[in-house]
Amino acid sequence: MAAAPSPADHPHNGLDAPDGPVQRTKVLLLGLRRAGKTSILEVLFNQLPPKQTFYLETTMRIVKHQVDTVIPLEIWDTPANVTAENLGAPLSEFSSIIFVIDIRDLYNQPISKLVEFILAANKAKGDIPIEVFVHKAEKLQEEDKIENYRQINDRVLDRLIDIDPDYEHLNISFHLTSVYDHSLHESFSKVLQKLVESLPFLEGLLNVFCANSQSPKAFLFDIRSRLYVATDASPVDSATHNLCCDYLQMLNSFGPLYKSITSGSSRQRPATQTPTPAASSGPSRSPSLHDSAAGSQSSDAPISPGPPKKHPKELFYPSAATTLHPVTPGTTLTYHLITRHLALLAVLPTSVYESRRGLLEYNIVFFREGIQEICDVEDEVRDGG
Amino acid sequence: MKKKVLLMGASGSGKTSMRSIIFSNNPASLTSRLGATIDVEQNHVRFLGDLILNLWDCGGQDAFMDSYLTSQRATIFQHVGVLIYVFDIESREAAKDLEYYRDCLEGLRQFSPNAAIFLLVHKMDLVRAGREVTFEKKRDELQECSPELSLSVFGTSIYDESLYKAWSNIVHTLIPNANILSTHLSTFAQACSATEVILFERTTFLVIATSSSSSSRPALSSTNGRTNNDARQSDNPANTLDPTRYERTSELIKAFKHSCSRVRGEFHSLEMELWDFTAVLDEMTKNTYVLIIVHDPSIETAALKLNIRMARRKFEELQGDSLISS
Ligand SMILES: Nc1nc2c(ncn2[C@@H]2O[C@H](COP(=O)(O)OP(=O)(O)OP(=O)(O)O)[C@@H](O)[C@H]2O)c(=O)[nH]1
Ligand SMILES: Nc1nc2c(ncn2[C@@H]2O[C@H](COP(=O)(O)OP(=O)(O)O)[C@@H](O)[C@H]2O)c(=O)[nH]1
Ligand SMILES: [Mg+2]
């Protein structure tokens, strides 16, 4: 099946999806009836308001969702009676298995099913990551939540060790999730990161960016799903992640709101105008800056430059910044579009943002070049395969 | 200047919920924790400059309603500036709701005949199909109850922007000379080469005035002759923008303000250079925020910010004037 270009808000940016079939990374979504599998997909990828998941109907057959994040995914939503045998594809084809358990469901059934799949997956291909979403976590008070989470965790591992002590070392991660808060986004981000082969390179560029821009935290977000694909080496604190996620959501909603039918998208034309006099204190997105960075970066790039890029260079990339009180010392959150799918969200001291805009813009250009190159290489591998 | 605002309607219809969302920056998801309001909860909200809203959130259980209409009648219904009456669209006692509503209108006629009346048909999100038709039916029913009044009826829900639309309209009637603000906003918009400029109240983020609204208000059409060198002004692209943009902007910013308050502070300002437009949202006066929308790609955010800084004093003055001259 052809990869449908995502219905992006900016069709003119020349970065259209490739025409041919692409190789999609397969993710299997498992769990009992009403565990919340379909809700998770709808909330993450179709912007369904969490409250509306109440009206979703039970999944009766396997549904394959093609989702275009930074990497093309194919997520299989399954009915509860699916087994490794009647799945219709060998487990080894999947790059990740997500198992959803209702946090109040401490009975044998879901755990047996989960263990059964873990064993089958291990037999098919040893290293498939198993992600257990202990779901609907918001339903319980803090104490019960931790207790049930721990119990589910222990029972699964006990059962596995009973079968074979070696299974202690299987690649299983547990996550507390709920469609009603950011835990779902944060957990699914971690699942996605394991699927992105170039992750170390992306992280490397983020680390360089943070060090050069005095940014305490930066995320590379997949714009539409608001999952982060990579972040710098400093620890992720949930509050900062949540704020960045909400900021991105606001910007995503703002974009189309003031789109004018008559004025067209004039951004695509080269900027020939001279800046307005009042703007002299500010930075400018001058094309020359772009070029100079392009020239200087290729030797440092983590991946050697491949054949000429198929993506024409943009003259304009959307950006945004928001400042929080107190204004001094103060925090600024910046947003910069990096590729068709990705945006850089960075936390900066407001003083740095205001006094060193030029340097920041320079670092962004450098960062963008690097990320685009990595993504081009990944895309090519998939197109060819 | 103080304005008394009565918030009435059956118990559970959503009065306290909307008050806490609009005036206390609470998210909709937390309203399910609210208990029934006992008797009247009074709040003073400093809205704009010297304008203080004196909100009376009147608990809607029958016993309270009966007492508002009898022993407390004068206290409740005198000096009212605005009555906001809330109807739960899913109410199982619609007939009783209407009866109380009629009785309240009677009380208002007696003590505050000049009060403005707004009716909110609330919890519209619960209507799964035929929202428009359901709303119109309810509106006609309400109009039948009070044929002599020209009613302002809004369909609302705390889960979307409709709440902001209704409340922006309500507060608009409370701001004397909001039209003068609009005129000055359009001048300011021209100075910025902006498509549109919108002024928000600072804490509620309700829309107070916009640069475009003067054209829809016939009384101000005379100011349109001032267009200088820009010929595009006559077919202003603002006319082609999404008609729900104001209330949706209020909702978006309020949601983001709430996100900020959970982390390291308070929202302060925002600037964007997106595919289709450039925008700056920043403090204008002590009580207001301004949003400038520009479609001309040659205008930079730094220029807009500078213009805001230069316009601040003028708008502080204006705001004072517009309230005093009432
Ligand atoms: N679905 C839906 N529920 C709403 C809406 N607005 C409020 N509610 C819910 O309605 C319930 C009652 O809301 P309140 O605000 O306490 O009602 P009230 O009118 O103040 O009631 P009294 O104080 O007893 O007069 C809460 O559980 C709210 O979450 C809405 O727009 N849609
Ligand atoms: N409280 C709560 N309910 C949820 C959550 N996720 C899903 N649900 C509800 O669980 C029910 C079953 O969801 P569904 O996605 O159809 O389950 P599936 O059969 O696994 O696909 C629905 O009524 C959802 O509203 C959650 O995080 N919290
Ligand atoms: Mg109440």
Mean pLDDT for chain B overall: 87
Looking at the structure, do residues B261 and B156 belong to the same domain, yes or no? no
CA-B163 nearest atom, ligand 1: 31
Has residue B300 got a pLDDT over 50? yes
- What lines the ligand 2 site, CB under 6 Å? A 31, 33-39, 53-54, 56, 58-59, 135-136, 138-139, 178-180
pLDDT of residue B32: 87
Q: How confident is the model at residue B158 (pLDDT cuts 50, 70, 90)?
A: very high
CATH code for the domain in which residue B8 is found: 3.40.50.300
Distance between Cα B41 and ligand 1 center (Å): 15
Same domain, B155 and B193: no
Could you tell me the CATH number of the domain that includes residue B198?
3.30.450.190
User: Using CB atoms, which residue from A240, A318, A325 is nearest to B265?
Assistant: A325
Same domain assignment for residues B153 and B78: yes
* A242·B259 Cβ contact <8 A: yes
Query: What are A94's two structure tokens?
Result: 């999947």
Contact A115, A160 (CB under 8 A): yes
| pLDDT exceeds cutoff 50 at B39 | yes
Q: What tokens appear for A268 in the block?
A: 């695509």
ipTM computed for the complex: 0.86
Which of A178, A257, A272, A315 is most worth mutating to test chain B (most B CB atoms within 10 A of its CB)? A257
| Tens digit of each residue's pLDDT (9 = 90 or more) over A131-182 | 999 999 999 999 999 999 999 999 999 999 999 888 888 889 999 999 999 9
With CB atoms and an 8 Å threshold, state whether A267 touches B263: no
- Looking at the structure, tell me whether residues B192 and B308 fall in a common domain: yes
Backbone angles phi, psi at B273, to 5 degrees: -125, 90
The torsion angle over the Cα atoms of residues B289, B293, B294 and B299, rounded to 10 degrees, is 30
Note whether B20 and B161 are same-domain residues: yes
Q: A68 has which bridge partners?
A: A72
Partner-chain contact A258 B245, CB within 8 Å: yes
Atom of ligand 2 nearest to the CA of A41: 15
Helix/strand number for chain B, H first, E second? 10, 11
Q: What is the DSSP letter of B244?
A: T
Residue of B nearest to A337 (CA): B274
More confident of the two residues B228 and B161: B161
Three-state DSSP at B301 gives: helix
Q: How far is CA B173 from CA B42, B82, B85, in A?
A: 21, 9, 16
Domain count, chain B: 2
Q: Cβ of B231 under 8 Å from any chain A Cβ? A: no
Angle CA B308–B309–B312, to nearest 5: 80
B31 and B107 housed in the same domain: yes
Do residues B104 and B234 share a domain? Answer: no
Q: Which residue has the tokens 């705001």?
A: B319
Calpha distance A213→A166 (Å, rounded): 46
Q: Do both B23 and B139 map to the same domain? A: yes
Average pLDDT (B2-29) is 92
Q: Which of A53, A113, A188 to mutate to test the pocket of ligand 2 (most atoms within 8 A of CB)?
A: A53
More confident site: A302 or B55: B55
Confidence of residue B219 (pLDDT cuts 50, 70, 90): very low
Q: Which domains does chain A possess? A: 25-195 (3.40.50.300), 199-272+279-384 (3.30.450.190)
User: Is B71 found in the same domain as B184?
Assistant: no
The pLDDT > 90 percentage for chain B reads 66
Q: Which residues lie across from A27 on neighbouring strands?
A: A75, A96
Q: Do B271 and A320 touch (CB under 8 A)?
A: yes
Of A253-267, B165-179, B186-200, the one with minimum mean pLDDT is A253-267
For B140, other C-beta atoms within 10 Å of its C-beta total 11
Name, in order, each residue with C-beta under 8 angstroms of B122's C-beta and a sequence gap of 6 or more.
B9, B13, B14, B18, B86, B87, B88, B89, B156, B157
Which range of residues forms the domain containing residue B254? 178-324
Residue nearest to atom 3 of ligand 2 (CA): A136
Helices (H) and strands (E) in chain A, counts: 9, 11
Q: Is A266 helix (H, G, I), strand (E, B) or coil?
A: helix
Is the pLDDT reported for residue B56 higher than 90? yes
B196 shares a domain with B88: no
Query: Which pLDDT belongs to residue B235?
Result: 57
The alpha carbon of residue A352 is apart from the nearest alpha carbon of chain B, in Å, by 16
Last residue of a domain, one of B174, B199, B214: B174
B304 pLDDT higher than 90: yes
Q: Counting beta carbons within 10 angstroms of the beta carbon of residue A357, is it exposed (0 to 12), middle (13 to 18) or buried (19 or more)?
A: middle
What is residue A384's predicted lDDT score, i.e. its pLDDT?
A: 67
When pLDDT is averaged across residues B68-97 and rounded to a whole number, the result is 94
- End position of a domain, from candidates B148, B174, B200: B174
pLDDT at site B137: 93
Q: What is the pLDDT of residue A283?
A: 38
In terms of domains, do B136 and B199 share one?
Answer: no
Helix, coil or strand: residue A120 = helix
Q: Do B124 and B245 lie in a common domain?
A: no
Query: How much is the average pLDDT of B12-16?
Result: 95
Please tell me if residue B268 touches chain A, with a CB cutoff of 8 Å: yes
Measuring CA to CA, how many Å separate A355 from each of A157, A344, A349, A351?
53, 20, 10, 6
Cα–Cα distance for residue pair A209/A366, rounded to 1 Å: 9
Which of B152, B174, B196 corresponds to the end of one domain?
Answer: B174
Low-confidence ranges of chain A (pLDDT < 50): 1-18, 269-310
CB neighbour class for A171 (10 Å; exposed up to 12, middle 13-18, buried from 19): middle
